[in-house]
């Protein structure tokens, strides 16, 4: 009976949510025109990157904080490290993982670089890095994380700290994350470079901490 009530409640919520979305009024502000008008001073050529890292950079800063907080919570609650016995990884899978991982790193670097003027950026690059780590773990070439050491913790928090440091420095100039036009390009590249590494580690950590076996204290 309880399961039936939960299913009915979830179904009603979905129906109401779909109805609310279909009933949304058209946007009263033409954001596309505003973004296009200010794009030359954003430091990048792609409108999505300009919005995420410049015009609404504080939203992205908080998103990174939420992801980092999720990983910290997993570390804090101390999930049981016992794992089910599983068959050894195939040598073919291990060979393919060894070949694919370097290529995925190259793809991540490309996505980071291309994000300034085409679809890409730190989130996409970080996701590819995390996928490479998960692949290596599934191939039993990378152990699960038991208790991240100092270097790994710095890597996890480094992108957020760089982002926060840039935001704090700009705040002294009068506004939060309002880049000087002549310096916006390299500041965004600095932030995205740090975020790529940290996002890759955070997303990988959400998997590796839940799949830890022998542990890794590196």
Rounded to an integer, what distance in angstroms lies between the CA atom of residue 31 and that of residue 84? 51
pLDDT at res. 218: 47
pLDDT at res. 214: 45
Burial of 195 (0-12, 13-18, 19+ CB in 10 A): buried
Rounded to an integer, what distance in angstroms lies between the CA atom of residue 183 and that of residue 112? 18
Give pLDDT tens digits along the chain (218 positions): 778 888 899 999 999 989 888 887 776 677 788 888 888 888 888 888 888 888 888 888 899 999 999 888 888 776 555 555 556 778 888 899 999 999 999 999 999 999 888 888 899 999 999 999 999 988 888 887 777 788 888 999 999 999 999 988 888 877 777 888 888 889 999 999 999 999 999 999 888 876 655 444 44
Predicted model pTM: 0.77
Q: Can you read off the two tokens belonging to residue 214? A: 């022998």
With beta carbons less than 8 A apart as the criterion, state whether 107 and 196 touch: no
Rounded to an integer, what distance in angstroms lies between the CA atom of residue 34 and that of residue 25? 20
Rounded to an integer, what distance in angstroms lies between the CA atom of residue 38 and that of residue 40? 6
Handedness of CA 12, 13, 16, 18 (dihedral sign): negative
Every domain of the chain and the residues it spans: 43-76+89-208
């Amino acid at each position: 009976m309880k399961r039936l009530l939960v299913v009915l409640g979830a179904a009603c919520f979905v129906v109401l949510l779909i109805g609310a979305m279909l009933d949304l009024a058209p946007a009263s502000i033409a954001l596309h025109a505003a973004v296009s008008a200010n794009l030359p001073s954003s430091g990048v050529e792609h409108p999505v990157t300009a919005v995420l890292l410049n015009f609404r950079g504080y939203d992205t800063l908080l998103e990174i904080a939420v992801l980092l907080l999720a990983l910290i919570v997993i570390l804090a609650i101390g999930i049981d490290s016992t794992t089910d016995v599983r068959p050894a990884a195939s040598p073919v899978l291990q060979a393919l993982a060894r070949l694919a991982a370097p290529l995925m790193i190259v793809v991540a670097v490309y996505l980071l670089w291309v994000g300034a003027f085409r679809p890409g950026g730190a989130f996409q690059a970080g996701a590819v890095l995390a996928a490479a780590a998960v692949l290596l773990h599934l191939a039993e070439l990378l152990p699960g994380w038991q208790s991240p050491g100092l270097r790994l913790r710095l890597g996890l928090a480094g992108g957020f700290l760089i982002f926060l440091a840039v935001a704090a420095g700009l705040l002294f100039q009068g506004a939060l994350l309002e880049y000087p036009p002549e310096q916006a390009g390299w500041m965004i590249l600095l932030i995205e470079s740090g975020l790529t590494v940290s996002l890759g580690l955070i997303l990988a950590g959400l998997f590796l901490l839940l799949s830890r076996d022998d542990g890794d204290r590196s």
